[in-house]
Structure 1
Amino acid sequence: MDVLRIRGGVPLSGVVSASGSKNAALPMMASCLLAEGPTILERVPNLVDVQTLGQLLTDLGCAVRTSQDGTLSIEVVEESSSEAEYELVRKMRASVCVLGPLLAKRGFARVSLPGGCQIGHRPIDLHLQGLSALGADIEIRNGSVVASAQKLRGARVTMSGPFGSSVTGTCNVMSAATLAHGKTSIEGAAQEPEVVALAEFLNAMGAKIEGAGTETIEIEGVEGLRGTEFTIIPDRIEAATLLIAGAITRGSLAVDDLCVSHLEAVLEVLSDIGVAVEATSSSSVRVDATGNSFRPLRVSAVPYPGVPTDVQAQLMAFLSTIRGQSSIRDQVFPDRFIHCAELNRMGASIQQFGNRAVIRGVDRLQGTHVMASDLRASAALVLAGLVAQGETVVRRIYHLDRGYEVLESKLRCVGADIERMDAADCMKPVQTEMRHSA
């Protein structure tokens, strides 16, 4: 099993590029089940989650071909199987995105209840309620969702939940509704850029969708969809992570191939903290944290266009290094604070109170062995390791590989002392400077 070993204290400098969006690519891949003929997706990140969904689509009768330049070809070649088995679905929550397309195109779907990151309770009730509203018969049987419908019909669907709109639920219902008879109105729809990108992708396939990016999405059902070519949008979460990496190391770093308009809330937070932020174009941002004086901050993670919950852990790592008292409240996933304990092991001072964490900044973090609990927590621990004194070893980085494309290589190219290695080679204690009192 691989780990990342990081020797902290090196300010990052230079230019690094963001990859294509994982959270946009996955629902698009699932929606290829709806189409006749091949679909070509460009700028697809090479991630474990993408590979897992590719294998699932293969099991569901698709021919899936990848190339080294990030191009992915998907074509349905047979439709005899409509069952998404546990061994693949358990690895990735986004696997549930095949439920709507299978139901709409093949009239039946059996999908194991999804797995994924351990970031708290994330039911798929809104998915099931939405598909039921479209006329599907749904039951939970032996740990799987079993859904059937001779022909879906348009309906009014609500995607608002107790912690905001469901992004994957909106994607699932929107995809299914493209082949439903009549008009569907999704109210309380998620407004994230990944939802907008999926709508644009489906429209390129022949769907009739309006209103994506607003609270209400209107879909007029069509008889069929055709394969198309489409380019994946930049990964705003990876871009934010890289920008925070530049800031936490007190470096000067530019991130290219992003979309500035997707990052406005994150850029505002960094600016409020005291980081010099400059959007040099619509696709490039430079952060300069050299010699800056930083301020503690109160942050709330909320649905788009607010600060993403997927950036909460990374911001917490940064705020841990800023003197004064900061706080982060997560209003999307209230239990997403497992990383607090690992950051505290590195010398941070963080206390959790329900869905809120209070951070008292320290002068320096200390390198040690830490263990990732989920995808974004692993990124936060890497960021903390970049600034910590001594060596940090981040374990269970298979979480990181689910959502970041060669992150260590990108960081190394801008000055980070970081390497991937076998866990057996890191069994000896991490060497750090220790102060002993008499």
Structure 2
Amino acid sequence: PEVCTPEAPYELAEKIRASIVVLGPLLSRFGYAKVPLPGGDDFGSRPIDMHIKGFEALGATVNIRHGDLEARADRLVGGRIALDYPSVGATENLLMASVLAKGTTVIDNVAREPEIGDLIDLLTAMGAQIAGKDTSTLTIEGVDTLHPTEHAVIPDRIEAATYAVAVGLAEGDVTIKGARLEHMDMLAEKLAEMGVHISAVDNGVWVTSEGRPRSADVSTLPYPGIATDYKPFLLTLLTVSDGVAIVTENVYGANRYAYVAELSRMGADIRTEGHHAVVRGVPRLSGAPIKAHDIRAGAALVLAGLAADGTTLVGDAHHVERGYADLVASLKSLGADVEWEEPAGDGRWNQ
């Protein structure tokens, strides 16, 4: 559809943490962009300083007014940008802005997630000139215009990880169609330590479980390390493992352990301290009323219900809806006893 305004509406932006990534393309197209500050999941600070510094390095004037981020530039001009951290959002935003900037832009310390490579493929198909795919430095030669194209988005590796961990919790033998093992190598290695095995097949990946999971320490890192979005699933798997494990959050910090209290209500033995969680496995969890705090933690709590005796009721499940096309249908297709309920108020998952 035709984009006719440089201002992103609040009612859409408040629902997603990624709202800021439309600032770059809007600014390149209109010379002005206004985007509400990011909303979405609530698990710690998501600083936007790298976005702002990057736009300023490209010649834009950026201000924050009344909860909105505003940027202006008649035309962006190529420059050199060094990211303090390989942020996926900042890499995406500055990449989309710089493809239409005048001259050459070099961005150092970029994120290398598969989604970045997929975005580069899309922009290249639209006429952008980008060198350095799958490296830590991107060089962009600005072009005057981009043209329409058709592009198939890569499979969601986080969704694939959700189902892989479900196999570890409930045991079984599952093929995840479309998933790419090369996008989840480190996860596959970590799951293998726990007794869950992922192997490539012609149409996706094949996941099998040895039985009760083994304990294994987990540390999150930027790609190609263990993604922070994998951590809630892995921690949930560890709650019923045979042993003790230490989980360390190196990306977002202590605020991304909010769901631990919910797992504890189900009988999990977890102690948190700062960026770390010590997980002592128990034989089984017990169903309980619990609450989702964000997309991945919410999905992890649904998975916890698979390893629990009795009924698990997950409130505030609208978070989970934002990250999955239909998690209930997918889990039901694997034999899970899970239903979606619509009470008077927020929806809930009922396991």
Q: Which TM-score band applies after superposition, normalised by the shorter structure?
A: over 0.9
Query: 2:208, 2:157 → 1: CA distance?
Result: 19
Determine what percentage of the aligned residue pairs are the same residue.
Answer: 44
2:233 is matched with 314
User: Are positions 1:179 and 2:103 aligned together?
Assistant: no
The 8 Å contact of residues 168 and 213 in structure 2, kept in 1 or not, is answered as no
1:257 aligned to 161, 168, 178, which one?
178
Contact 2:113 2:224 (8 Å CA) reproduced: yes
Partner of 1:118: 42
**The one of 71, 86, 99 aligned to 1:147:** 71
Match of 1:332 among 251, 257, 261: 251
- 2: CA distance, partners of 1:424 / 1:124: 36
Per the TM alignment, residue 425 of structure 1 is displaced from its structure 2 partner at its CA by: 11
1:323 and 1:273 mapped to 2: Cα distance? 9
- 1:293 Cα deviation (Å)? 5.4
| 1:279 alignment partner, SS class | strand
Per-residue deviation at 1:279? 2.2
Partner residue of 2:147 out of 199, 217, 226: 226
CA distance in 2, matches of 1:425, 1:166: 35
Is residue 189 of structure 1 aligned with residue 114 of structure 2?
Answer: no
Partners of 2:130 and 2:22 lie apart in 1 by 19
Counterparts of 1:212 and 1:168, CA distance in 2: 16
In structure 2, what is the equivalent of residue 409 of structure 1?
A: 329
Kindly indicate whether the alpha-carbon contact (under 8 Å) linking 2:180 and 2:205 is maintained by their aligned counterparts in 1.
no
- Report the CA distance shift for 1:293/1:340 in structure 2 as closer, same or farther (over 3 A): closer
Deviating above 3 A after TM superposition, structure 1's stretches of 4 or more consecutive aligned residues are: none
Cα contact 1:369–1:392 (8 A) shared by 2: yes
Structure 1: where are the runs of 5+ without partners? 1-62, 64-74, 432-438
Q: Which residue of 1 aligns with 2:280?
A: 360
Deviation for aligned residue 1:331: 0.7
Q: Per-residue displacement from partner, 1:364-386 (whole Å, max 9, x unpaired)? A: 10001110000000011011001
SS of corresponding position for 2:76: coil
How much does 1:214 deviate? 1.1
Number of residues of Structure 1 aligned to a counterpart in Structure 2: 348
Matches for 1:424-435 after TM superposition, within 5 Å: none
- Structure 1 or 2: more strand by fraction: 1
Structure 2 gap ranges (5+): none
Aligned residue runs from structure 1 range 376-415, under 5 A = 376-415=296-335
Question: How far did 1:146 drift?
Answer: 1.2
Paired residue for 2:20?
Answer: 96
- 1:63-74 equivalence runs, <5 A: 63=1
With the length of structure 2 as denominator, give the TM-score of the two structures.
Answer: 0.96
| Shift in Å, 1:424 | 5.2
Residue 296 (str. 1) matches residue 220 (str. 2): no
Which AA in structure 2 matches 1:320? T
The aligned counterpart of 2:53 is 129
Cα distance in 2 for partners of 1:318, 1:373 equals 18
> What residue is the counterpart of 1:374 in the other structure?
294
Paired residues of 1:309 and 1:332 also in contact (CA < 8 A): yes
CA contact (8 A) 1:243 1:254 kept: no
SS at match of 2:286: coil
Pairwise CA distance, 1:159: 1.9
How far does the alpha carbon of each residue in 1:290-328 deviate from its partner, in whole angstroms, 9 at most, with x for none?
5x3532111101110111100100111100000211111
Partner Cα distance (1:138, 1:294) in 2: 50
Aligned AA (1:420): W
Separation (CA, whole Å) in 2 of partners of 1:203 and 1:413: 38
In 2: Cα distance, 1:145 partner to 1:278 partner: 44
Between 342-351 and 269-278, the greater mean CA deviation after superposition: 269-278
Closer, same or farther: CA 217–108 of 1 in aligned 2, 3 Å: same
Residue 261 of structure 1 aligns with an amino acid whose one-letter code is E
* TM-score, normalization by structure 1: 0.77
Q: Which residue of 2 aligns with 1:211?
A: 132
Q: Choose which of 185, 188, 206 in structure 2 pairs with 1:286.
A: 206
Separation in 1 of the partners of 2:195 and 2:108?
38
Give the conservation status (yes or no) of the 8 Å contact 1:159–1:186. yes
